Structure formats: structure tokens, C-alpha cells
Amino acid sequence: MLSIGMVTTVVGEIHYATDETGVRAISAPGVLLEDWLRSTGRSGLRIDQAVQDETDLLGVRAQLKEYMSGERQKFSLPLSYSGTPFQLRVWKALLEIPYGELRSYADIAREIGSPRAARAVGQANNRNPLAIVIPCHRVVASNSGLGGYAGGLASKEFLLQLEQRWCG
């Protein structure tokens, strides 16, 4: 059965969905619940049939709070997500970016063996179902600009600064 929950952070609410296979979706901070429900519905999750996650059985809330307080740099949640083969390669590469470090869209494109696919990497980031846990916020433009982020650039900048503060 699909369960949804929410954790309140200093940068905004983070919504999540879990089921018996693991964590299925996590919103970027500050994304409105209605927008998140619409985007997860497009990805095939039947959020309209979900129940409220009262117990935090998988520890999603706890681990997100630890991350936001600087106590956690790597997540140990069971993840269950799907995407195109290209998206899966991008998301796997994102999981390899160390806490507090940045990569460009072009860097990720080269890492996955598609050096001319920086824009496609950006699109895969945009479809990332597990914000923060799959750290798409650590990917920036080659010109050192922030690029984009589902939760808005202020949220992305906050997450990057948070990691810089705690990684030293």
C-alpha cells in the first residue's frame, strides 16, 4: 500500500511516498503538495489511493531531518524508483556525487558516456523522483550558474550552502 508523508524543514515542506518496496518519491523542498501530487501522478504513482504515513516506518522523516541538521551526509533508505535507461544512468551518477561537492550537467553527461547530452542530463534531473536523496541539487551549469531546481533556485542554493556548512 502506498503511504504519503511530509516533513517540515526550514526551507519548506518535503513530501514523500513509500510502499512495501521502499521510498518511491520525495519532493524538492518548498514544492506545493498539489504540484507534487500532479507530478507523481504523471510518473504513474497512484497518490490518490495512498494513506497517510503516521509511523515513518522506513525512517524517511528522521533521515531528512538529520540531513537538514547536518547529522547525515548519506541516506540509507531503501529506494524504489523507475525511469528510462538514460534517466537511470543519470540518477546513478548523481548518487555518486559526494556530499558538499558539485558537478556540472556536462560532467554528468561525460560520466555516463554521453558527452553531448548535457541538456538531456538537465531533463533527467528535472524528472528525478527522489529529490535530496538522489542529489540533483549538486548539479550546476558549466558557467557556475545554479541551473534549475524543482523547488526553486532559493531552495537549491540553501541545500548547497547547508552542505558546505557541514562538510568541512
Nearest Cα to Cα of residue 48 among 2, 95, 107, 103: 2
Give the integer Cα–Cα distance in Å for 16 and 117.
Answer: 29
From the list 60, 90, 94, 136, the catalytic residue is 136
Is 167 assigned a catalytic role? no
Q: How is residue 9 written as a grid cell?
A: 524543514
Inter-CA distances, 115 with 26, 55, 71, 105, 109, Å = 28, 44, 35, 10, 5
How many residues does this entry show for the chain?
Answer: 168
Q: List the beta strands (DSSP E) in 38-88.
A: 51-52
**Gap between the Cα atoms of 166 and 28, Å rounded:** 20
Grid cell for residue 59: 525512517
Catalytic sites, residue numbers: 136
